[in-house]
Amino acid sequence: MQKFSFDLLHQHKKSRTGILYTRHGQIRTPAFMPVGTRGTVKAMLPESVDSTGADIILGNTYHLMLQPGAERIANLGGLHKFMNWPKPILTDSGGFQVMSLSKLRKISEEGVTFSSHIDGSKHLLSPERSTEIQYQLGSTITMAFDECTSYPATFEQAKSSMELTSRWGTRSRKAFINREGYGQFGIIQGSIYPELRALSATNLLELDFEGYAIGGLAVGEGQKLMFETLDYAPALLPINKPRYLMGVGKPADIIGAVTRGVDMFDCVIPTRSGRNGQAFTKYGTVNIRNSQFKDDAEPLEYDCPCAACKNYSKAYLHHLVKVGEILGSILMTWHNLTYYQELMARIRNYIEDGKDLDFLY
């Protein structure tokens, strides 16, 4: 059975390529993970997601524990079987969603007590329960339970939040059931304060997680402050383990983060943008709703291998999106996810060739 391990293959300045080996297959890094929050990447068949070149997708503890329930998914064979995705799955711990979506939440040392945003039912999500749910789902990569520090936060607020995340990280690690080919990532917090980020990393490195995530960015601080934090934060983490920047992002953000030593990303932007009629291309973004495309017989991109570009014109996509046809969301999402995977492949090729990542799209 495959051991969970990370091989660093190439490095150009701070940029890295590697392969993450897991029970469910290999992940080429830098990697972008399409978001499949509720057990599905919106508007996509799993086979379609696979065709874009994705090695791994992301699921979410908070949403799946509420609907259809982690125990139900476990009884049906786990999330991989349930959603027909045999490749790796990383599950968010639910900490961010508890803070952003739930009602009447109360944070204590034990965890977060909250009311469901769906039906108002009360739940407790603790480090132990979050880890247990992710085990029931069969997650390839389990995330430690953390408090996502809001922005802006004072130094004292960020320090208190970071320390809670460190204590929760210890409890998450103790609750993790180690199995061959599976891993757990710790999450460093500390907002935009270097001293706190360093302390958070020190605390979590003692727990010897299989990988590490940088949390609490892309929460309103802006690209400048995010990049200033990434100028030093990845270097706080082990060289021989994957580094994951949570919730990022836009193509320019991904490129900037890779140049600073980050290996893994996830974001809803490509799927959400696709459903709203925005396409990412090497030449910039395209709003397919614009009337200039209603008679445009050309594809979004001539050299894109996705189903939308190979088979349909911008005029047809414009029509589908304007009239609200579901196929419009499917094709636009398919293109965007393909663009993101093509972007990651280009990034990996540049690093392997010793080139700077001096492109934006």
- The set of catalytic residues is 92, 266
Are 348 and 57 in contact, with CB atoms under 8 Å apart?
Answer: no
Cα(193)–Cα(231) distance, integer angstroms: 12
Q: For CA atoms 319, 320, 322, 323, give the dihedral sign.
A: positive
Can you tell me whether residue 211 is helix, strand or coil? strand
User: DSSP secondary structure string, 49-76?
Assistant: HHHTT-S-EEEEHHHHHHTT-HHHHHHT
Amino acid type, 126: S
Can you tell me whether residue 96 is helix, strand or coil? helix
Task: Report residue 8: phi and psi, to 5°.
Answer: -85, 120
Length of the chain: 361
Alpha helices in 69-193 (DSSP H): 70-75, 79-83, 95-100, 127-137, 155-175
Angle, helix 194-205 to helix 155-175, in steps of 10 degrees: 10
Task: Report residue 205: phi and psi, to 5°.
Answer: -65, -30
Q: For CA atoms 145, 150, 153, 157, give the dihedral sign.
A: negative
Closest among 41, 20, 37 to 337, alpha carbons compared: 41
Are 84 and 40 in contact, with CB atoms under 8 Å apart?
Answer: no
Closest among 335, 329, 341 to 309, alpha carbons compared: 335
Amino acid type, 348: R
Closest among 262, 267, 233, 264 to 250, alpha carbons compared: 267
